[in-house]
A and B are shown apart, each in its own frame.
Chain A
């Protein structure tokens, strides 16, 4: 999957969980400050992403995923490691 494909699939998850328009889920956007994804919705996004991308995102890692770009990079890193 390319970076853009991961971003796009993640955007669909954010849309499904939090109702944020998928095209506003861009790499430079902060989940909490720009997209208004609250902490519980973020957990839902993480669990959906784990299933979708076949990665594990430990709870202690979630706080480091401030932007969409952080999450996409984490997913890319851990998919290739697998």
Chain B
């Protein structure tokens, strides 16, 4: 029996570059940075820059809807609603042509509702236990973004929340594709979100020496693969993809952006925070994704790298690509869109999934900005300007790696 094919039919995002897909893609192709100086509230913190969302979600959502959601769920809902409308399934749903029982959600968060948790802690400390919101738990729980989307869109199939730190968003894409392949659902909203630009996570990431301490122009600090990189820049936002079985998408005449060809998920079992310097876990994830999709290394034209701008991680990813693609690794156009967006943690893999799909759809890879002097240990063709991708059947890899040793690779294929 042939396997159910899974396609992408809707895209949505809100992130440091823009509040929707069109603005985001335009910003990526223009090589713009969404990293900016934080407000006065960040004075005294070891890092005072971040990729804050370009459009505040509370300006987009109904006031009462927003009031009952953590910022991470607000961002998730904005992205999911855009993807849903983009897919055309909103119209199908209104005319009764969508079975909610065959509709699922896999939406990730790396940290959960940290703003809600900490602001309620402040309220309890300053004003007493009575001031802890009765909504605190449903707002801060890790599955709040997925549940919010399920409630709003009427998804009554499996509603999952993979939590694998910075690999979460990509893992959600893989998981949603699995649900469709297993025949449990026909349609799934997949993605990830994060809203962790808050003093405590900033202090925590800074103290573990993961964040860049560069105090220069904020737009130049996220510099994946560059010799001057010294850590990542925290970003916030969400990415969402509507996935469908090919059969379901074709039956309703949907526009198909790309196909999910294969996915691979592995763990390093090496260290809770440090990547395996040899990149063995990531290598196995990419290999599995290639095998899963029966994709030959020579089919790969583009890689949206995880590359967060940390000294170790970016080099390890270069090793992974050489270990999996062999000599073809030098023929692949590699980019790290984190150079423009910063690192969205649980939202990263989802936003980069959106970017990977758009690269295939438009046949152009967005650039990596701030790459002034490429680290000689990174033997890859990294795009510093938008680069055309070849015509014909091509594929692209979206890589995501997370604390805990999580590695996820998703391979998308072009659709003509």
Residues of A within 8 A of B (CB): 17-19, 40, 43-44, 47, 50
Contacts and interface: CB of A to CB of B under 8 A. Distances in A.
Interface of B: 62-64, 67, 130-131, 133-135, 138
A40 B131 CA distance: 13
Contact of B133 (A18, A19, A44, A50): A44
B369 to A, nearest CB: 42
Contact of B131 (A17, A18, A19, A47): A47
10 contacts: A17-B67, A19-B62, A19-B64, A40-B134, A43-B134, A44-B133, A44-B134, A44-B135, A47-B131, A50-B130
Contacts of A50: 130
Contact of A19 (B63, B130, B134): B63
Q: Give 7 nearest A-B pairs by CB, closest first.
A: A19-B64, A43-B134, A40-B134, A40-B135, A47-B130, A44-B134, A19-B63
Nearest to A39: B134
Contact of B64 (A18, A40, A43, A47): A18
Contacts of B63: 19
Given A17-B67, A50-B130, 13 more contacts: A18-B64, A19-B62, A19-B63, A19-B64, A40-B134, A40-B135, A40-B138, A43-B134, A44-B133, A44-B134, A44-B135, A47-B130, A47-B131
A40 to B, nearest CB: 5
> Taking chain A's interface residues, is the majority helix, strand, or loop, or is none over half, making it mixed?
helix
A47 B128 CA distance: 11
A19 B131 CA distance: 20
Contacts of B135: 40, 44
A73 B54 CA distance: 47
Contacts of B130: 47, 50
Nearest to A43: B134
Contacts of A18: 64
B304 to A, nearest CB: 40
A15 B67 CA distance: 12
A12 to B, nearest CB: 14
A73 B67 CA distance: 28
Contacts of B131: 47
Contacts of A43: 134
A18 to B, nearest CB: 7
Nearest to B132: A47
B58 to A, nearest CB: 14
A45 to B, nearest CB: 10
Contacts of A47: 130-131
A50 to B, nearest CB: 7
Contacts of A44: 133-135
A43 B63 CA distance: 19
A24 to B, nearest CB: 14
B186 to A, nearest CB: 32
A19 B64 CA distance: 6
B66 to A, nearest CB: 10
B63 to A, nearest CB: 6
Residue from B64, B131, B138 with most neighbouring chain A CB atoms (10 Å): B64
Contacts of B67: 17
Contacts of A17: 67
Contacts of B64: 18-19
A6 to B, nearest CB: 20
B136 to A, nearest CB: 10
A74 to B, nearest CB: 17
A69 to B, nearest CB: 23
A44 B130 CA distance: 10
A6 B196 CA distance: 39
B41 to A, nearest CB: 24
B134 to A, nearest CB: 4
A17 B67 CA distance: 8
Nearest to B138: A40
A25 to B, nearest CB: 15
